[in-house]
């Protein structure tokens, strides 16, 4: 957006005035990112990339046209092309919830702005972390990836919305690899934040721990495959709630599927009274936080499950209208290359009353699973994998195990949660993938939770 | 491009510019009908230079921002890795067909018609099925030029059809699907008849539900199962970068018999009309076919220029630029050689076991150590040589170095899965199965 904002404003307004779609919107975006990557002892890749691009989306008779581009000129032609595409598609009636046109400027604010720091100072922090890993005996190699990105986005639609938003996001992944003969094990941490460089500082102790953990895992046994009682730490429980329930509450899976609507009917019981699940983009300074979503809808706090019962879901303007519910401000796009789709923001299980010690003391034999490798969902069934696992024996955390894959079915596993802890923590290190748009910044969290009869794949 | 190289030359004699442009037009069908038409256009430019022996890199989508591109790459080179390679000089590349001009004449209406007819044919068999379909046409242009006279320029066409069907009964959800991708437009009915037949077969085999208890069982991975479960750990282990770091379990085992002697695997970027083929890699090194496993013996690893330089070997033409940074070694297309057992015979010879076609969460474990596992999204139980029904709420896990060291059988028929894997079915002896109830 090298031209002045006023010129752009005028061009956008002009393009949005003269079209024949029922609804049209324009998004223009400028972004910069810096990355530093180590493989082993040596720095492998360091650099910056910049991008400028935009998109136009048009709706007519229930059909959508979408154009994305890097060349920002001729916006009117692009609106025209998107409208033409929408007309080829649209044969029915449009559903699109009414929202108040938004006019606002949102500026990113952070305690320690990464763009104010030199590349050299960032590199020297990562050097310190890498040195800690390499000091650990039996470490074979390491990898460290740091990335920061800032985006300035202008959003305008044919209803009069005009928003300028600035977003800064940063992530750090540190991985340690240990080896003994043909045996290779790894452990890592992922940290993320909404721009504040402080979140990636002072991790020396955690880095030392992951290096040691990778080494310890070389001699750890595999878990036995089968069903058992598991306790999840807040980080892995956060991944669990995101995969096990969060995705199923995204209405774009449901809104045109009559069978799914019957299954996901509000009021259906999924878990015990101690289970409360919330998605909240309005929380300050989390990676999934934002003021307006990518359709210009004001973000909201939403209970998905309250006292074990399904009470809400996440919507775009289209899914809300189709299901006759209120828009929740959850239409998000990874970048100008993609149209907004229904996504989570900050998703978490609310605190219960159990302490971790109480939960543990009631388990004769089970698994304590921590940290994450990943998670995936196919609506009904889901998996989430732990980066760290221990046997629980007679109410105590016992010997370490190799990483485990945990799996469940949304219709049984949520009701098998028999204890919810009192120690909620948010995990900011992950990114969410859906419809080819990955990784979208989200956060998720939970207190410790205990699940009976969870399916464990050990190997 | 010349202008950027000229600007870079003021700072250093060694530089390279990589320009990538694309236009893709997908038609997206939701809940059995057309819902979106997209046009995705874009281009990006990457500058890599070597200054005072160190690598600097920068990229942008604003093609006129030349000076900033050069300044940023010079800035990065102060900290960059020490270059262990020379940029390639001019070369005549062997022709590899990856562009079919017919792609340009296929109309939006034809694309929409393919989607509609695919949905109609599948639903004729199962009216309750709810389908999501994507039919897409794309063209990419690649232009690479460096200061040593090296230059490559080619166009690639891509046509893509994917269908995903959901069948819901009560709270039971069944997911079936198939896809096909080629440099040719897939217009004729017989080509997408294979997609229809594949979906029908999945629906038929999944009609009944079978149960399985937690224990060790033999497993037949379909080509798609192979691509999902077994390929990711191998792709990491054969990456020259993993080997260089000493993190590949195969790194010190070249010329050793590590796998079943019926297993042969190669990486090939020279097959005509395959979307991952190309005359040269993203650094200008000619494409080739590299043998990774030959009759069970570990043969070679995949390298780009810098990794090869560090490992004192040569590039295998596997320098890939993912999203616009430095090249890194990556697979082109991995092909497993077919064996001599028909799929039907594999099933008939199985007393009790599973067929696994789709897994969720498959690569989300310690793949560096060879581990794989996941929840069976689409899989079937075999009893007494017959498919008895679908299994669900079941997790499989294992390690490729154990599983592939002694195979029960290698399938006769191979199949492309997406654009980067072509495999037969593999019969694996014993895998840990965990099942609910």
Chain B within 8 Å of A183 (Cβ-Cβ)?
A: yes
**pLDDT tens column, A233-276:** 999 999 999 999 999 999 999 999 999 999 999 999 999 999 99
Chain B within 8 Å of A52 (Cβ-Cβ)?
A: yes
- SS3 category, A393: strand
Tokens of A383: 């998996």
Chain A residues in contact with B41 by the CB 8 A cut-off are: 67-71
Answer yes or no: are the C-beta atoms of B118 and B163 closer than 8 Å.
yes
Best of A49, A54, A438 to disrupt the B interface (most B CBs within 10 Å) is: A49
Chain B residues in contact with A39 by the CB 8 A cut-off are: 241, 245
Strand partners, B292: none
Of A39, A66, A256, Cβ closest to residue B30: A256
- The Cα of B95 is separated from the nearest Cα of chain A by a number of Å equal to 31
Residue of A nearest to B360 (CA): A376
Tokens of A8: 């752009």
In this prediction, residue A315 carries a pLDDT of 98
Chain B residues in contact with A186 by the CB 8 A cut-off are: 366, 368-369
Nearest Cα neighbor of A52 from B58, B71, B142, B60 is B60
In this prediction, residue A4 carries a pLDDT of 64
**pLDDT tens column, B261-300:** 999 999 999 999 999 999 999 999 999 999 999 999 999 9
Chain A within 8 Å of B174 (Cβ-Cβ)?
A: no
Confidence bin at B369 (pLDDT 50/70/90) = very high
- Tell me the pairing of strands A226-232 and A365-370: parallel
Tokens 């359709």 sit on residue: A295
Chain A within 8 Å of B112 (Cβ-Cβ)?
A: yes
- SS3 category, B343: helix
In this prediction, residue B436 carries a pLDDT of 86
Confidence bin at A458 (pLDDT 50/70/90) = confident
Chain A residues in contact with B37 by the CB 8 A cut-off are: 63-66, 85-86, 88-89
Nearest Cα neighbor of A86 from B393, B215, B38, B428 is B38
Answer yes or no: are the C-beta atoms of A389 and A244 closer than 8 Å.
no
Percent of chain A with pLDDT over 90: 90
Cβ within 8 Å, pair A69-B401: no
Nearest Cα neighbor of B45 from B27, B26, B58 is B58
Alpha carbons within 13 A on the beta-carbon side of A63: 23
Cβ within 8 Å, pair A376-B35: no
- The Cα of A227 is separated from the nearest Cα of chain B by a number of Å equal to 7
In this prediction, residue A373 carries a pLDDT of 85
A 398-427: CB under 8 A from B: 402-403, 405, 407, 409, 411-412
Tokens of B44: 């990006």
Of B42, B370, B434, Cβ closest to residue A69: B42
**pLDDT tens column, A194-215:** 999 999 999 999 999 999 999 9
H or E element at residue A369: strand A365-370
H or E element at residue A358: helix A356-361
**Domains of chain A and any CATH numbers:** 5-217 (3.30.2290.10), 226-457 (no CATH)
Q: Which residues contact A98 (CB under 8 A, 6 or more apart)?
A: none
In this prediction, residue A84 carries a pLDDT of 96
Cβ within 8 Å, pair B39-A256: no
User: What would the mean pLDDT of A341-370 be, rounded to a whole number?
Assistant: 97
Strand runs labelled E in A402-447: 405-409, 417-420, 425-427, 431-434, 437-441, 443-446
Chain B residues in contact with A381 by the CB 8 A cut-off are: 360, 375, 377, 392-393
Cβ within 8 Å, pair B397-A459: yes
Nearest Cα neighbor of B155 from B17, B326, B23 is B23
Q: Cα angle vertex A442, ends A325, A357, to 5°?
A: 100
Of B38, B395, B398, Cβ closest to residue A407: B395
For A137, A447, B237, B242, B296, the CA distances from B251, given in Å and listed in that order, are 20, 42, 8, 8, 15
Average pLDDT, chain A: 95
Best of A58, A371, A383, A451 to disrupt the B interface (most B CBs within 10 Å) is: A383
Q: CA-to-CA distance for A165 and A427, rounded, in angstroms? A: 24
Best of B61, B130, B230, B322 to disrupt the A interface (most A CBs within 10 Å) is: B61
Question: pLDDT: is B50 or B324 the higher one?
Answer: B50
B149 class by beta-carbon count within 10 Å (0-12 exposed, 13-18 middle, 19+ buried): exposed
Phi then psi dihedrals of residue B333, to 5 deg: -140, 125
Q: Which of A227-231, A296-300, A402-406 has the lowest mean pLDDT?
A: A402-406
For chain A, state the CA radius of gyration. 24
Q: CA-to-CA distance for B322 and A284, rounded, in angstroms? A: 33
Strand partners, B179: B162
| B189-205 helix and B108-125 helix, angle to the nearest 10 degrees | 30
- SS3 category, A287: coil
- Tell me the pairing of strands B289-294 and B297-298: antiparallel
Q: Is the pLDDT of residue B323 over 70?
A: no
Strand partners, A305: A277, A310
Q: Which residues contact B385 (CB under 8 A, 6 or more apart)?
A: B347, B348, B349, B350, B351
The total of other beta-carbon atoms located within 10 Å of residue B74's CB is 19
* Comma-separated ranges of CATH 3.30.2290.10 domains in chain B: 2-204
Chain A residues in contact with B76 by the CB 8 A cut-off are: 46-48, 119
Chain B residues in contact with A383 by the CB 8 A cut-off are: 360-361, 364, 374-375, 395
Q: CA-to-CA distance for A140 and A136, rounded, in angstroms? A: 10
Cβ within 8 Å, pair B76-A260: no
- The Cα of B380 is separated from the nearest Cα of chain A by a number of Å equal to 16
Answer yes or no: are the C-beta atoms of B302 and B276 closer than 8 Å.
no
In this prediction, residue A271 carries a pLDDT of 97
User: What would the mean pLDDT of B34-41 be, rounded to a whole number?
Assistant: 97
Q: CA-to-CA distance for B329 and B282, rounded, in angstroms? A: 10
Q: CA-to-CA distance for B357 and B177, rounded, in angstroms? A: 10
Q: CA-to-CA distance for A352 and A273, rounded, in angstroms? A: 10
Strand runs labelled E in A40-138: 42-60, 63-69, 103-106
- The Cα of A284 is separated from the nearest Cα of chain B by a number of Å equal to 30
Tokens of A9: 């404003």
User: What would the mean pLDDT of A111-115 be, rounded to a whole number?
Assistant: 93
**pLDDT tens column, A120-173:** 999 999 999 999 999 999 999 999 999 999 999 999 999 999 999 999 999 999
In this prediction, residue B188 carries a pLDDT of 75
Nearest Cα neighbor of A133 from A241, A253, A40 is A40
Q: CA-to-CA distance for B187 and A211, rounded, in angstroms? A: 54
**pLDDT tens column, B212-230:** 999 999 999 999 999 999 9
A 288-327: CB under 8 A from B: none
Chain A residues in contact with B81 by the CB 8 A cut-off are: 42-45
Average pLDDT, chain B: 96
Nearest Cα neighbor of B89 from B18, B155, B8, B145 is B145
Q: CA-to-CA distance for A451 and B132, rounded, in angstroms? A: 34
Chain A within 8 Å of B436 (Cβ-Cβ)?
A: yes
The CATH class, in words, for B2-204 is alpha beta
Task: Indicate the length of chain A as a whole number.
Answer: 459
Q: CA-to-CA distance for A247 and A240, rounded, in angstroms? A: 11
Residue of B nearest to A49 (CA): B59
- The Cα of A426 is separated from the nearest Cα of chain B by a number of Å equal to 21
Strand order of the sheet with strand A309-310?
A: A309-310, A301-306, A277-280, A346-349, A443-446, A425-427
Q: CA-to-CA distance for B344 and B338, rounded, in angstroms? A: 15
A 197-236: CB under 8 A from B: 225-227
For A370, A407, A408, B359, B393, the CA distances from B354, given in Å and listed in that order, are 30, 18, 19, 13, 13
Answer yes or no: are the C-beta atoms of B233 and B370 closer than 8 Å.
yes
Q: CA-to-CA distance for B115 and A225, rounded, in angstroms? A: 42
For A24, A56, A294, B43, the CA distances from A6, given in Å and listed in that order, are 20, 19, 21, 27
Q: Is the pLDDT of residue B66 over 90?
A: yes
In this prediction, residue A18 carries a pLDDT of 86
Of B62, B172, B325, Cβ closest to residue A47: B325
Q: Is the pLDDT of residue A1 over 70?
A: no
Q: CA-to-CA distance for A250 and A342, rounded, in angstroms? A: 6
Residue of A nearest to B432 (CA): A459
In this prediction, residue B315 carries a pLDDT of 98
Task: Please determine, for the modelled complex, whether the ipTM score is greater than 0.85.
Answer: yes
Cβ within 8 Å, pair B171-A51: no
Strand runs labelled E in B170-202: 172-182
Tokens 């989607």 sit on residue: B115
Of A40, A385, A409, Cβ closest to residue B436: A409
Chain B residues in contact with A378 by the CB 8 A cut-off are: 173, 175, 360, 375, 377
- SS3 category, B136: strand
A122 class by beta-carbon count within 10 Å (0-12 exposed, 13-18 middle, 19+ buried): buried
In this prediction, residue A417 carries a pLDDT of 98
For A12, A238, A374, A435, the CA distances from A332, given in Å and listed in that order, are 21, 20, 21, 12
Percent of chain B with pLDDT over 90: 94
Chain A within 8 Å of B21 (Cβ-Cβ)?
A: no
């Amino acid at each position: 957006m090298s031209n002045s904002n006023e010129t752009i404003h005028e061009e956008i307004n002009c393009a949005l005035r003269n079209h024949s779609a029922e609804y049209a919107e324009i998004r223009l975006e400028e972004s910069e990112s810096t990355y530093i990557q180590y493989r082993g002892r040596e720095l492998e890749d360091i650099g910056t990339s910049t991008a400028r691009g935009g998109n136009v989306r048009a709706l007519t008779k229930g059909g959508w046209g979408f154009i994305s581009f890097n060349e920002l000129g001729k916006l009117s032609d692009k609106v025209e092309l998107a409208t033409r595409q929408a007309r080829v598609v649209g044969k029915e009636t449009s559903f699109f919830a009414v929202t108040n046109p938004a006019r606002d400027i949102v500026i990113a604010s952070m305690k320690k702005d990464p763009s104010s720091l030199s590349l050299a100072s960032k590199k020297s922090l990562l050097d310190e972390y890498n040195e800690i890993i390499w000091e650990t005996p039996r470490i074979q190699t390491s990898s460290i990836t740091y990335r920061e990105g800032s985006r300035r986005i202008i959003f305008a639609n044919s209803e009069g919305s005009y928003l300028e938003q600035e977003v800064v996001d940063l992530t750090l992944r540190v991985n340690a690899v240990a080896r003994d003969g043909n045996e290779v094990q790894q452990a890592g941490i992922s940290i993320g934040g909404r721009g504040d460089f402080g979140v990636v500082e002072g991790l020396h102790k955690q880095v030392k721990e992951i290096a040691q953990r990778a080494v310890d895992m070389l001699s750890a046994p595999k878990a036995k495959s089968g069903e058992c009682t598991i306790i999840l730490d807040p980080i892995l429980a956060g991944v669990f709630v995101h995969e096990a329930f969060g995705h199923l509450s995204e209405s774009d899976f449901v809104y045109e599927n009559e069978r799914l609507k019957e299954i996901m009917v509000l009021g259906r019981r999924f878990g015990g009274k101690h289970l409360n699940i919330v998605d909240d983009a309005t929380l300050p300074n989390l990676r999934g936080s934002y003021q307006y979503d990518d359709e210009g809808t004001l973000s909201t706090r939403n209970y998905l499950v309250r006292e074990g019962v399904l009470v809400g879901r996440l919507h775009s303007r289209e899914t809300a209208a189709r299901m006759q519910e209120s828009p929740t401000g959850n239409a998000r796009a990874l970048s100008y290359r993609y149209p907004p789709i229904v996504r989570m923001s900050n998703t978490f299980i609310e605190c219960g009353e159990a302490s971790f010690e109480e939960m543990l003391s009631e388990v004769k034999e089970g698994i304590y699973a921590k940290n994450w490798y990943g998670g995936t969902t196919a609506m009904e069934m889901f998996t989430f994998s732990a980066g760290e696992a221990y046997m629980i024996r007679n109410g105590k955390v016992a010997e370490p195990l190799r990483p485990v894959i945990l799996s469940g079915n949304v219709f049984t596993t949520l009701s098998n949660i028999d204890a919810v802890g009192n120690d909620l923590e948010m995990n900011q290190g992950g990114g969410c993938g859906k419809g080819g748009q990955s990784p979208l910044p989200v956060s998720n969290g939970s207190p410790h939770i205990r699940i009976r009869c969870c399916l464990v794949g050990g190997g | 491009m010349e202008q950027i190289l000229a600007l870079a030359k003021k700072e250093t004699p060694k530089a390279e510019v990589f320009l990538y442009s694309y236009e893709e037009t997908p038609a997206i069908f939701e809940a059995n009908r057309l819902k979106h038409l997209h046009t995705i256009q874009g281009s990006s430019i990457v500058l890599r230079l070597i200054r005072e022996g160190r690598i600097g890199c920068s990229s942008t989508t604003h093609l006129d921002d030349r000076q900033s591109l050069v300044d940023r790459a010079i800035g990065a080179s102060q900290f960059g890795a020490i270059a262990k390679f020379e940029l390639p000089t001019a070369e005549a590349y062997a022709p590899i067909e990856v562009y079919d001009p017919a792609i340009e004449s296929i109309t939006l209406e034809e694309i929409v018609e393919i989607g509609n007819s695919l949905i109609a044919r599948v639903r004729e068999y199962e009216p309750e099925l709810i389908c999501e379909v994507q039919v897409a046409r794309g063209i990419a242009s690649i232009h690479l030029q460096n200061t040593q006279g090296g230059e490559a320029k080619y166009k690639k066409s891509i046509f893509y059809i994917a269908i995903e069907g959901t069948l819901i009964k009560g709270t039971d959800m069944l997911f079936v699907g198939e896809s096909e991708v080629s440099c040719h437009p897939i217009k004729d009915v017989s080509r997408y008849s294979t997609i229809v037949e594949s979906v029908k077969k999945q629906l038929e085999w999944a009609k009944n539900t079978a149960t399985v208890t937690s224990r060790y069982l033999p497993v037949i991975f379909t080509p798609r199962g192979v691509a999902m479960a077994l390929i990711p750990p191998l792709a990491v282990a054969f990456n020259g970068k993993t080997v260089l770091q000493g993190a590949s379990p195969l790194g010190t085992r070249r010329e050793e018999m590590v796998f079943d002697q019926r297993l042969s695997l190669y990486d090939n970027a020279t097959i005509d009309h395959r979307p991952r083929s190309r005359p040269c890699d993203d650094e200008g090194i000619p494409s080739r076919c590299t043998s990774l496993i030959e009759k069970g013996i570990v043969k070679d690893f995949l390298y780009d220029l810098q990794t090869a330089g560090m490992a004192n070997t040569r590039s295998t033409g596997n320098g890939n630029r993912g999203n616009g940074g430095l090249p890194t070694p990556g697979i082109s297309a991995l092909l497993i050689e077919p064996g001599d057992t028909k799929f039907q015979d594999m099933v008939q010879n199985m007393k009790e076991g599973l067929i696994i076609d789709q897994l969720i969460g498959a690569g989300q474990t310690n793949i560096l150590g060879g581990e794989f596992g996941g929840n069976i999204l689409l899989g079937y139980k075999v009893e007494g040589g017959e498919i008895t029904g679908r299994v669900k709420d079941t997790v499989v896990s294992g390690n490729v170095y154990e599983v592939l060291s002694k195979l029960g059988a290698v399938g006769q028929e191979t199949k492309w899965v997406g654009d980067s894997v072509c495999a037969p079915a593999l019969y694996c002896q014993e895998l840990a199965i965990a099942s609910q109830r």
